Amino acid sequence: MMESCDCLEPQWPADELLIKYQYISDFFIALAYFSIPLELIYFVKKSSFFPYRWVLVQFGAFIVLCGATHLINLWTFTVHSKTVAIVMTVAKVSTAVVSCVTALMLVHIIPDLLSVKTRELFLRSKAEELDREMGLIRTQEETGRHVRMLTHEIRSTLDRHTILMTTLVELGRTLGLEECALWMPSRSGSNLQLSHTLRYKITVGSTVPINHPIVNEVFSCSHAKIIPHTCPLARIRPLSGRYVSPEVAAVRVPLLHLSNFQINDWPELSAKCYAVMVLMLPSDSARKWHIHEMELVEVVADQVAVALSHAAILEESMRARDLLMEQNIALDLARREAEMAIRARNDFLAVMNHEMQTPMQAIIALSSLLLETELTPEQRLMIETILKSSNLLATLINNVFDLSKLEDGSLELEVGAFNLHAVFREVMNLIKPIAAVKKLSVSEMLAPDLPLCAIGDEKRLMQTILNIAGNAVKFTKEGRISLTASVGKPEYLRDIPDFCPVPSDGHFYLKVQVNIYPILHEPLEIKSFHCDTLRILVAESVLKTKHIYLPNLRRLKVEKTKVIAAVDLGLPFVRGLLVSWKDTSGLKVKVLERVVQRRSL
């Protein structure tokens, strides 16, 4: 009797070929199911961040169970035990449970997965936007580099035409322009004239009224502005058939200073005057002006304005230099002509002095011979007067010749001791005959404190006093003239603008005063004027006063003095003498103030 077998028969009859195919398929399915969890484990370990690890664990368990069912199913194609069936059942039940749980969990994470896709699209768009911004930044950096290069090119020259042409060429190359032009104000300032273009020749009569609405809009805007391609400012190239009109921009260029351009001699205009730069993009290119391109144009316009102002300053300085050189040439020519005239005058004076001295010396010699004969007192007085007058006239003639010495500083003073009272007596003897002819009464009064003797240039002092008294006689028609000489008090002379204190006790001020007393005494206005260090008070035909400063020549080593020209003292024979005495610490005084000095007896 055979034992009973706890075995299960297969569900369908065995077909060897089908069984082999199913067997092999289940084997590879199980192998694939078992390999997928390994790949998931590798992915989880390698991923730095993944928020759904537990889902992968469930999914891995589901795949492992699926692989187990296919593997167990290999034993069900033939007669198998109940244990195999139970294991198969448990595996399928576990697979069903795990698959349901996994499916339910996927329902919760699907929205998150969809949002991940949305985030991916958002991040991708942001990345593309960042790429565009980086492209713009690179473009702006490239543009900035071109601006720096353009600025360097503009500032490398100070010629205005070179600056403008360099600007047009560099802008056309940097921005890829079809045309770039510059409109400048005309001489009258009533319109704009096309002055520079990049590619096309300037046509005759290319002008635009400065009060055109588009021009006013460009002038009133400090930024670059898009203008219609049909406006007059955009007519900077010949018209041609185009499908798409070009986009045109315009910007104002401040003109700080204008002068002498080739276009009708541009005038000197104020800082409020502007030129217009017009820039045209290529036609049929569909290009538009970008913000950074407009900013580049504005920066270049400002740089052009600065460069033009520098060029204008340089041109102004060059014109001033040329004018100064012309003036220097003219002054040098005038100086040479003046020197030639002075030499001619000096030659003339030398000849005249020589020709006049001969008869004068004859008069002096004859007068001296007459004095040696027997004469009456009146005749002797007259001959002595003639002799002294002749000597004085000879001195005047010599002084006329000495005018040439004033210019080279070689005039010398004849310093010596003389009788100061006798000088005044001689002056009176000279003016009394003239006063007698005009029926004028002349008197002199010497103060008791006036020194009898002094050291100085007697002839020049006598000329000075004679000039003062002679003018009084000359300009007085009737009345009485009084000549008074005294020592001037320094305390009363301090109001003189160029008052100089007396260096020592040996110096004193000589005050010579001429009083004119008309027959009709009327109150007259007192006037004063200053003539360098000499102060003269004038009451019309009433009072004339002259102060003369006298140095202590006794304590000085008498040497030749240096004489240079100064102001007019009103004396024809010592006009403008300024004496610099040695050993006086550089003290400079008038020659009339240096002619007498108190002498110790």
Q: Give the integer Cα–Cα distance in Å for 87 and 93.
A: 10
Q: At residue 335, does pLDDT exceed 70?
A: yes
Run of H or E including 240: none
pLDDT at 403 over 70: no
CB of 194 within 8 A of CB of 206? yes
SS3 51: coil
What H or E segment, with its residue span, contains residue 387? helix 377-408
Instruction: Give SS3 for 339.
Output: helix
pLDDT digits (tens, 9 = 90+) for 272-315: 688 888 988 887 677 888 887 888 888 888 888 888 887 778 88
Q: What is the pLDDT of residue 530?
A: 31
Lowest mean pLDDT among 42-46, 85-89, 372-376, 511-515: 42-46
CA atoms 212, 217, 223, 229: torsion sign: negative
Cβ atoms within 10 Å of 113's Cβ, excluding its own? 10
Residue 127 has pLDDT above 90, yes or no: no
CA 254/CA 260 separation, integer angstroms = 17
Task: State the average pLDDT over residues 493-511.
Answer: 65
Residues in the chain: 601
The whole-number pLDDT of residue 575 equals 34
What does the alpha-carbon distance between residue 357 and residue 295 come to, in Å, rounded to a whole number?
Answer: 91
Q: Cα separation of 278 and 210, whole Å?
A: 15
Angle (nearest 5°) at CA 388 between 455 and 371: 120
Mean pLDDT score of the chain, rounded to an integer? Answer: 71
3-state helix, strand, coil in the chain (%, to 5): 50, 15, 30
pLDDT, position 379: 84
Rounded mean pLDDT, 17-21: 70
Q: What is the band of 344 on the pLDDT scale with cuts at 50, 70, 90?
A: confident
Q: Within 10 A of 63 (CB to CB), how many other CB atoms are there?
A: 22
| Predicted confidence (pLDDT) per residue in 540-587, tens digit | 222 333 333 334 333 333 333 333 333 333 333 333 333 333 333 232
141-184 tens-digit pLDDT: 766 776 677 677 666 666 777 878 888 888 888 788 888 888 88
Q: Which whole-number Å values give the CA distances from 596 to 424, 439, 547, 590, in the listed order?
A: 13, 32, 12, 12
Q: Characterise 586 by phi-psi region: left (phi > 0), alpha (psi -120 to 50), beta (else).
A: left
State pLDDT tens for residues 446-488: 888 888 888 777 877 887 788 888 888 888 888 888 888 888 7
Per-residue confidence at 95, pLDDT binned at 50, 70, 90?
confident
Longest dimension (CA), the chain: 221
Average pLDDT estimate for 267-274:
57
